[in-house]
Amino acid sequence: MADELPEELPDPADPVIQRLQQAFAHEELAIELVEVRRRAARYRPPPGHGLTAADLANARRREPAAVTRIYSAYAPALFRFFMAAVGDRHQAEDLTGTTFVSAIEDLPRFYGPIEALGGWLFRIARHDLYDHRRRQARSRVEPLEDHLPEAARVAGADDPEELAIQRLEGSRVLAALRELSPDQREVLLLRMGAGLSAPEVAETLGKTIGAVKALQHRGLASLARVLGGLRSPHQAQDRPYLSPDPARLTSQEEEER
Amino acid sequence: MTVDPSEAFGLFYKDNSGPVFRALLAGTLNRAAAEDATAEAFARALAHWDTVASHPNPKAWVLRVAWNHHRSSWRRWEARWSVDQQEPSPPPAESWVDPDLVAAIRGLPRGQREVIVLVAFGELTPTEIAGVLGRAVGTVRSQLFRARMALRQLLADAPGPEGRDG
């Protein structure tokens, strides 16, 4: 096994290593500690961070502490997802609440490991969102753009939850999302809005990870186009090891689907 | 040890932000991306300081986070378009100290490039690098070997800025 091999440090006298070190020796990070501290304060861990299998088992038995932990771990992401989708704070709060309640009721029928909980929760969320939209369509037509000012207004406030969603609302991003295909929009809402990982989004939407990544690539490319006018974001210079061209990747991966 | 955690992080940042930044800069050759990845990784280190402070190699932890942050094109995209930020201006043309070396790094396959900069600036062992990059130790060893050979070859024609001091 690898463990039995002696653990050598690379030869410091290797001229290649030395030249590398010399070439960059004068480079210093131009970011102050203060800025890092500010960034740390804004950092939000991925949804579900810190949950254990025991939390899940306890929540299945409706143990309040465990239910609360799961709520705290996912409610902000659910809220952001709904907020980005409906653009209205009160509706987003309602949807978050109802989704969570029905999820907890259904939890005894969720057999997956804790890692699969996010995908499962967001499947319920997506279902609830569609129900909500059907109800709305029946009652009155309320196009998304009507909500954008409201969403923008919310961005100015400063409680933590609102800070957490500040990237989305108010934004050209939210408006630009409307320009995308429903598939792309949904993937971006789950990735950007809710902060789910690609595998979680795949689980939520019942697609392969490859298909999700392809939709994400294509969605981002469209979003960048919409946001930046027709100027494409600087690529070759900016990304020395370029991920494959989004458009090409898309067609390839979609075929695998 | 009665070091204030905040002070402890400050010291950790002071000692390690330079090497981590240089590893990212040499690996990406993109100053903005390297700064962003380094700042993000140290911010997360602070957010998870309990974990990081008791980690056997905190610098390797930060390098891993920085690398993952950079590798995920989603994150790079998000940083570029995040709303608090104005439209970014195109990165300025870099004038590197050692353009031949930079060209040589550019010529390396990505995997080899990542490994060699982690050796040079991270001062990590192959096992630690394997952890940082999520690769088998054997793969890291062979990539390191090939990167050295390739660079040696590429640099043979360009002996470097020997005359300059530094």
CB contact under 8 A, A167 and B83: yes
Distance CA B109, CA B5 (A): 40
How do residues B128-145 score in pLDDT, each as one tens digit?
999 888 899 999 999 999
Place of tokens 């861990």: A45
Instruction: Measure in Å the smallest separation between the Cα of A16 and chain B Cα atoms.
Output: 6
Do B110 and B32 share a structural domain? no
Contacts of B103 in chain A (CB under 8 A): none
For the cut 80, the answer to whether the pLDDT of residue B165 exceeds it is no
Other C-beta atoms closer than 10 Å to the C-beta of B165 total 4
Instruction: Measure in Å the smallest separation between the Cα of A238 and chain B Cα atoms.
Output: 6
Contact A209, A198 (CB under 8 A): yes
Do B67 and B2 share a structural domain? yes
Lowest-pLDDT range, A51-55, A187-191, A203-207, B1-5?
B1-5
Domain ranges, residue B30: 1-94
Do B136 and B62 share a structural domain? no
Do B133 and B103 share a structural domain? yes
Q: Which of B54, B79, B94 is the last residue of a domain?
A: B94
Task: Read off the pLDDT of each residue in A99-123 and give the average, rounded to a whole number.
Answer: 91
Do B84 and B147 share a structural domain? no
Distance CA A93, CA A123 (A): 17
Write out the two tokens for A105: 């009721």
Q: What percent of chain B has pLDDT over 70?
A: 81
End-to-end CA distance of chain B: 38
Q: Which of B76, B94, B112 is the last residue of a domain?
A: B94
- We report the CATH number of the domain holding residue B68 as 1.10.1740
Query: Quick one: closest CA in B to A228, which residue?
Result: B87
Residue A53 has what pLDDT?
92
CB contact under 8 A, B126 and A7: yes
Distance CA A196, CA B125 (A): 33
How do residues B74-111 score in pLDDT, each as one tens digit?
555 555 544 434 444 445 567 788 888 888 898 899 89
Do B115 and B39 share a structural domain? no
Distance CA B87, CA B81 (A): 7
Contact A150, A89 (CB under 8 A): yes
Residue B136 has what pLDDT?
94
Question: Coil, strand, or helix at residue B94?
Answer: coil
Residue A9 has what pLDDT?
55
Comparison of pLDDT for B90 and A221, the residue scoring more: A221
ipTM over 0.85: no
Instruction: Measure in Å the smallest separation between the Cα of A56 and chain B Cα atoms.
Output: 23
Q: Tell me which amino acid residue A77 is.
A: A
Do B65 and B41 share a structural domain? yes
Q: Which of B46, B78, B94 is the last residue of a domain?
A: B94
Do B40 and B14 share a structural domain? yes
Do B129 and B77 share a structural domain? no
CB contact under 8 A, B155 and A22: no
Residue A241 has what pLDDT?
31
Contacts of B24 in chain A (CB under 8 A): none
Beta-carbon contacts of residue A257 (< 8 Å; ≥ 6 apart): A207, A208, A210, A211
Using 50, 70 and 90 to split pLDDT, how confident is the model at A219?
Answer: confident
Total number of domains in chain B: 2
Nearest by CB to A36, which of B43, B123, B127?
Answer: B43
Query: How large is the C-alpha radius of gyration of chain B?
Result: 17
Task: Read off the pLDDT of each residue in A190-217 and give the average, rounded to a whole number.
Answer: 87
Query: Quick one: closest CA in B to A227, which residue?
Result: B81
Using 50, 70 and 90 to split pLDDT, how confident is the model at A141?
Answer: low
CB contact under 8 A, A238 and B117: no
Nearest by CB to B35, which of A8, A30, A170?
Answer: A30
Q: How many Cβ pairs within 8 Å bridge chains A and B?
A: 148
Distance CA A137, CA A159 (A): 32
Contacts of A228 in chain B (CB under 8 A): 87
State the best of B30, B83, B155 to mutate against chain A, taking most chain A CBs within 10 Å. B83
Distance CA B90, CA A198 (A): 29
Q: Please, where are the H alpha helices in B29-57? A: 31-47, 49-53
Contacts of A243 in chain B (CB under 8 A): 73
Instruction: Measure in Å the smallest separation between the Cα of A22 and chain B Cα atoms.
Output: 7
For the cut 50, the answer to whether the pLDDT of residue A148 exceeds it is no
DSSP state of A170: T
Global confidence as pTM: 0.65
Distance CA B44, CA A194 (A): 19
Place of tokens 């402070």: B53
Using 50, 70 and 90 to split pLDDT, how confident is the model at A140?
Answer: low
Contact A84, A174 (CB under 8 A): yes
Calculated CA dihedral for residues A189, A194, A198, A201, nearest 10 degrees: -70
CB contact under 8 A, A16 and B96: no
Do B50 and B39 share a structural domain? yes
How do residues B23-70 score in pLDDT, each as one tens digit?
999 998 888 889 989 999 999 999 989 889 998 899 999 999 998 888
Contacts of A168 in chain B (CB under 8 A): 83
Beta strands per DSSP E along B41-151: none
Instruction: Measure in Å the smallest separation between the Cα of B57 and chain A Cα atoms.
Output: 15
Contacts of B76 in chain A (CB under 8 A): 239
Do B124 and B85 share a structural domain? no
Distance CA A67, CA A50 (A): 14
Contacts of B43 in chain A (CB under 8 A): 36-37, 39-40, 42-43
Residue A33 has what pLDDT?
92
Do B136 and B90 share a structural domain? no
CB contact under 8 A, A228 and B87: yes
Comparison of pLDDT for A88 and A11, the residue scoring more: A88
